[in-house]
Chains A and B, each alone.
Chain A
Amino acid sequence: MKLGKRQAAALLALAALPAQAQAQSAREIRQRTLVIGVPAGPANLEPGTNRAEPIGSEIILNVFDTLVAWSPPAFSQLEGRLAAAWTVSADGRVFDFTLRPNVKFHDGTSCDAAAVKFSLERTKSINPFMRASFDPIESITVTGPLMLRITLKETMPVFLSLLAQPQAAIVSPTAARLHGDAFSVNPVGTGPFRFRSYRPDTDVVLEANPDYFRGAPQLARILYRVIPDASTRRLELESGGLDIVHQSGQLAAIPTQDVRALRANPQIEVIEVPSQIIRQLEFNNSRGDSPVADIRVRRAILAAIDYDGLIEGIFGGTAERVYGPLTSNNWAFDPRMRDLAPKHDPALARRLLAEAGVQPGQLKLTLYSFQGPLWGAVATFVQANLAAVGIEAQVAQTEFPALRALHVAGRHEVMLDGRQPWYNDPDAHITIGYLSTLADTAMTFRMPKDDALDALITRAQTNVDFEQRRQLYHQVQAQIMERAPAAFLFSPKLIVFRRRGVQGLVVNSAPPLNEYWGVSKS
């Protein structure tokens, strides 16, 4: 929203300076402003209403702080942010936090235990996206001015990962009460950047918080420019109108051929980081009358796909092979998956189909997919692979809401699908995807009732010992692979384009939201 009075005040202040000083000040601000091109505007700008929409989520991580955060550059360990220290009880249900002293919100009020309690309870009550995640919270108790106890109803090792998410960021109670519903476009946090202005469909401007508790940022401002068209974003990047462009979503991504062209531009650096996104060709595993209900048919389809050809031919190296239910950069990834993963073997595929009594040309499938040219290319490639072994697949690209309705109703046989985990834990892929009791509740793999696998997944989810959890997830992965619920295809890399001169950017991958506190422009 516009801040006319503040602008007027700023203008008046500037008017008092000599003209030359004003020009120098404006020039300096411009030089120290990081301009980021995004495909869409944020839905809103505060944790209480954030539903994991990427632009708003990234802005939140720069305006607010969470209790804990993933530590750069590896983002594999949690570090305290507003929390200086914490302990977890032996049964994994009680979390005691000690907050950092002297941390202030942008409105000057103190960030203390009462503020944290207010913030988390507020998000739990008003954010339907977080309701399920925060439902296990039994109580939040202020045990001292800077001490907080969160008690869960059940053991939940992933809880700390959830507290690192934008939806768990801590808001100023004073500002939230003052602005009411309008707080969603007047955010006040403790973060390295303060909210300055928001023009819908145009831009969001953040300005440096010089009193930030980790030290003032080197940038003066961050300017998110809303540019929906990928070609226009590329042109602006090349001409210097933007400093950074990153892929916030597959459908709005700069095409692969543009990636190659930008790599050749000496003014632009392409940062590629492995993600934890998984894209797969999945089967409707709960439909007993489906032609893919026979595991030999499923294994035949797995053998028919040219995985390396897909990654090189469609993605030109901007994606990596996925070998199983977790990406290879996940801490719970089982290296044995590389051997267990299917290989491209059309002869094996034909043999398996013959064993299953399927003649060439007999099996006809509808291959559903998301819309967009990238998904179209993947679907067409898979269609060709299947045709080579005698399976006819008709591609049906579908708008997401209709696709989801189809999926949840279980009316498909095969579908190109995928998931981007919105918190950094194997649970984000495994539980939602493969727990048979959740089969109809989301875009899952629709696993048939499987008490043994469900029990293993639940044990892995709730074990408080890190190494034991890892071993349990190894077992989960092996058992999932035995059941062949999908052909795991690729994990697209997170690609960030930045102009030379932008320094200190470390790209976060799970979720793919960047923090700009340590970034500078030369």
Chain B
Amino acid sequence: MGRYVLQRLAALAPVLLLVLVIVFSLSRLIPGDPATTLLGPGATETQIAALRAQLRLDEPAHWQLLAYLGGVLQGDLGRSLKTGAPVLNEILLRLPATLELTIAATLVAVVIGVPVGVLSAVGPNSALDHAVRLVSLAGVSMPAFLLAVLLQLVFGIHLGLLPISGRSSPFFLDDPITGFMVLDGLISGDLELAGDALRHLLLPTAVLAAFLAATLARFVRNAMLDVMTEDYVRTARSKGLPERAVVFVHALRNALLPAVTILGLKFAELLGGAILTETVFAWPGVGRYMFDAISNRDYPVVQGATLVFALLFMLVSLGVDLMHGVLDPRVRRRMG
């Protein structure tokens, strides 16, 4: 398995290079340039030309690409055209917010989605099964934006139980340790901060987890239904094993394989930022940052963020494959 991991890691570089060239080219094909966007409608061509020169946007595209590549090889993802701040720093500043939300949503989705999918599968066409299928259909169909606003209205305004936006109360002093606010509160012993951060995390987590849990429940249900008809499950039953052992020890382990795949893909997607959720809840994650960068034609941010997302996606994909190896000995043998 070690050799397999090394082979996959070695494949990162050419793939990232290809991603970079594609995103570099595509971003420059979009009409409009950064200087125009940054200076707004009232700007004159003189002002725009001066800014383009300052930002070196008047250099030939291939020189810009080579200069950028040279920087990337030294760990420099360039500077934001809008703020002048180093792109890597800006992404790392926002990544914990996205990771915190993504991890929380994934955990909630797994805790809810897997058992619900299993229960639905072991009693096919029961009242519970119908209910689960209906609710999960609603979960995957409901637009995230609409669910977010509904939760804000119900829990934030009418019931007044949870905050509507942000990662924490703006009056809290926050000196990040890890950037994960709940964790930082616990580490520093500031339970009020930890509690406040947790309360702020609940609604956006619910929005993301709703879709994820519904998707997972459906996948687990379908996978379990397939597995429960397998010969080895019949054999396990005929050996007199308790139904719980049949379901959770023998069937679920095999049903989890496709679920792990879908969970990994969705997790990687969310790392790219749940833009709508981050926007509605004013969550300062990488999704919003990337979206703003595209609107502003902030090329270095678009390029740098895409590289980071691509890297994270490939690492998560590797993790999913390794998890397959853990769950399935046949896969583990093929990995070597």
Chain A residues with CB under 8 Å of chain B are 2, 4, 7-8, 10-11, 26, 29-30, 33, 35, 40, 43-44, 49, 51-53, 128-129, 131-132, 181, 184-185, 199-203, 205, 223, 225-229, 231-232, 235-236, 238-239, 241, 399-402, 404-405, 408, 417-422, 432, 438, 440-443
Cross-chain contact A226 with B51 (CB below 8 angstroms): no
Chain A residues with Cβ under 8 A from B32's Cβ?
399-402, 404-405
Cross-chain contact A7 with B171 (CB below 8 angstroms): no
Q: Which of B27-61 contact A (CB under 8 A)?
A: 30-33, 36-47, 50-51, 53-54
CA A43 to CA B82, docked complex, whole Å: 6
Chain A residues with Cβ under 8 A from B157's Cβ?
235, 238-239
Cross-chain contact B175 with A2 (CB below 8 angstroms): yes
What is the number of contacts between chain A and chain B, taking CB atoms within 8 Å?
Answer: 151
**CB < 8 Å neighbour of A235 from B33, B40, B156, B175:** B156
The reply on B94 being an interface residue by CB < 8 A is yes
CB distance from A236 to the nearest CB of B (A): 6
Cross-chain contact A442 with B289 (CB below 8 angstroms): no
The reply on B257 being an interface residue by CB < 8 A is no
Q: Which of B267-285 contact A (CB under 8 A)?
A: 279-282, 284
Cross-chain contact A200 with B149 (CB below 8 angstroms): no
Cross-chain contact A128 with B54 (CB below 8 angstroms): yes
Q: Which of B128-163 contact A (CB under 8 A)?
A: 149, 152-153, 156-157, 160, 163
CA A443 to CA B33, docked complex, whole Å: 15
Chain A residues with Cβ under 8 A from B279's Cβ?
228-229
Chain A residues with Cβ under 8 A from B90's Cβ?
200
Cross-chain contact B36 with A401 (CB below 8 angstroms): yes
The reply on B17 being an interface residue by CB < 8 A is no
CA A201 to CA B98, docked complex, whole Å: 13
The reply on B26 being an interface residue by CB < 8 A is no
Chain A residues with Cβ under 8 A from B53's Cβ?
128
Contacts A226-B284, A241-B164, A400-B32; A442 near B83 (Cβ below 8 A): no
CB distance from B143 to the nearest CB of A (A): 14
The reply on B329 being an interface residue by CB < 8 A is no
B50 nearest in chain A by CB position: A128
Cross-chain contact B171 with A30 (CB below 8 angstroms): yes
Can you list 16 A-B contacts with CB-CB less than 8 angstroms, sorted by A residue number? A30-B171, A44-B84, A49-B84, A51-B39, A53-B38, A225-B165, A225-B166, A235-B156, A401-B33, A401-B37, A401-B297, A405-B36, A421-B42, A432-B44, A442-B43, A443-B41
CB distance from B316 to the nearest CB of A (A): 24
**CB < 8 Å neighbour of B46 from A51, A405, A441:** A441
Chain A residues with Cβ under 8 A from B328's Cβ?
none
The reply on B93 being an interface residue by CB < 8 A is yes
Size band of the interface chain B makes with A: 35 or more
Cross-chain contact A232 with B164 (CB below 8 angstroms): yes
Chain B residues with Cβ under 8 A from A200's Cβ?
83, 85, 90, 93-94, 284
B45 nearest in chain A by CB position: A441
Chain A residues with Cβ under 8 A from B218's Cβ?
none
Cross-chain contact A399 with B31 (CB below 8 angstroms): yes
The reply on B221 being an interface residue by CB < 8 A is no
Cross-chain contact B171 with A404 (CB below 8 angstroms): no
CA A440 to CA B156, docked complex, whole Å: 51
Cross-chain contact A40 with B175 (CB below 8 angstroms): no
A-B complex: 5 closest residue pairs judged by Cβ atoms: A401-B32, A128-B50, A201-B284, A402-B31, A441-B45
Chain A residues with Cβ under 8 A from B240's Cβ?
none
The reply on B6 being an interface residue by CB < 8 A is no
Chain B residues with Cβ under 8 A from A441's Cβ?
44-46
The reply on B292 being an interface residue by CB < 8 A is yes
Chain B residues with Cβ under 8 A from A420's Cβ?
41-42
**CB < 8 Å neighbour of A418 from B41, B163, B167:** B41
Cross-chain contact B175 with A4 (CB below 8 angstroms): yes
CA A239 to CA B41, docked complex, whole Å: 35
CA A408 to CA B49, docked complex, whole Å: 13
* Interface hub of B41, B166, B288 (most chain A Cβ within 10 A): B41
Contacts A238-B157, A404-B32; A201 near B170 (Cβ below 8 A): no
B168 nearest in chain A by CB position: A202
The reply on B173 being an interface residue by CB < 8 A is yes
Chain B residues with Cβ under 8 A from A7's Cβ?
173, 175
Cross-chain contact A52 with B36 (CB below 8 angstroms): no
Cross-chain contact B31 with A229 (CB below 8 angstroms): no
Cross-chain contact A232 with B280 (CB below 8 angstroms): yes
Cross-chain contact B165 with A404 (CB below 8 angstroms): no
**CB < 8 Å neighbour of B281 from A43, A232, A421, A432:** A232
CB distance from B261 to the nearest CB of A (A): 32
Contacts A401-B36, A401-B37, A404-B36; A232 near B170 (Cβ below 8 A): no
**CB < 8 Å neighbour of A432 from B42, B173, B175:** B42
Chain A residues with Cβ under 8 A from B152's Cβ?
232, 235
A402 nearest in chain B by CB position: B31
Cross-chain contact A132 with B170 (CB below 8 angstroms): no
Contacts A7-B175, A129-B51; A199 near B284 (Cβ below 8 A): yes
Chain A residues with Cβ under 8 A from B160's Cβ?
239
CA A405 to CA B281, docked complex, whole Å: 34
A184 nearest in chain B by CB position: B84
* Interface hub of B32, B173, B280 (most chain A Cβ within 10 A): B173
Contacts A226-B284, A420-B42; A11 near B173 (Cβ below 8 A): yes
A398 nearest in chain B by CB position: B31
CA A232 to CA B42, docked complex, whole Å: 29
CA A419 to CA B41, docked complex, whole Å: 7
**CB < 8 Å neighbour of A51 from B38, B44, B176:** B38
Cross-chain contact B41 with A400 (CB below 8 angstroms): yes
Chain B residues with Cβ under 8 A from A35's Cβ?
170
Cross-chain contact A202 with B284 (CB below 8 angstroms): yes
CA A128 to CA B152, docked complex, whole Å: 43
* Interface hub of A44, A129, A226 (most chain B Cβ within 10 A): A129
Chain B residues with Cβ under 8 A from A227's Cβ?
165-166, 282
CA A190 to CA B295, docked complex, whole Å: 34
Chain B residues with Cβ under 8 A from A2's Cβ?
175-176
B167 nearest in chain A by CB position: A202
CB distance from B66 to the nearest CB of A (A): 24
CA A241 to CA B96, docked complex, whole Å: 24
CA A229 to CA B207, docked complex, whole Å: 16
CB distance from A288 to the nearest CB of B (A): 22
Cross-chain contact A129 with B31 (CB below 8 angstroms): no
CB distance from A360 to the nearest CB of B (A): 34
B44 nearest in chain A by CB position: A442
Cross-chain contact A40 with B47 (CB below 8 angstroms): no
Q: A227-B165, A442-B43 are in contact. List 6 more A-B contacts (CB 8 A).
A: A132-B44, A200-B94, A203-B170, A225-B166, A239-B156, A401-B37
Cross-chain contact B83 with A43 (CB below 8 angstroms): yes
B284 nearest in chain A by CB position: A201
Q: Which of B149-206 contact A (CB under 8 A)?
A: 149, 152-153, 156-157, 160, 163-167, 170-171, 173-176
A407 nearest in chain B by CB position: B41
Q: Which of B71-124 contact A (CB under 8 A)?
A: 82-85, 90, 93-94
CB distance from B334 to the nearest CB of A (A): 44
Chain B residues with Cβ under 8 A from A53's Cβ?
38, 40
**CB < 8 Å neighbour of A422 from B30, B42, B156:** B42
**CB < 8 Å neighbour of A400 from B37, B51, B83:** B37
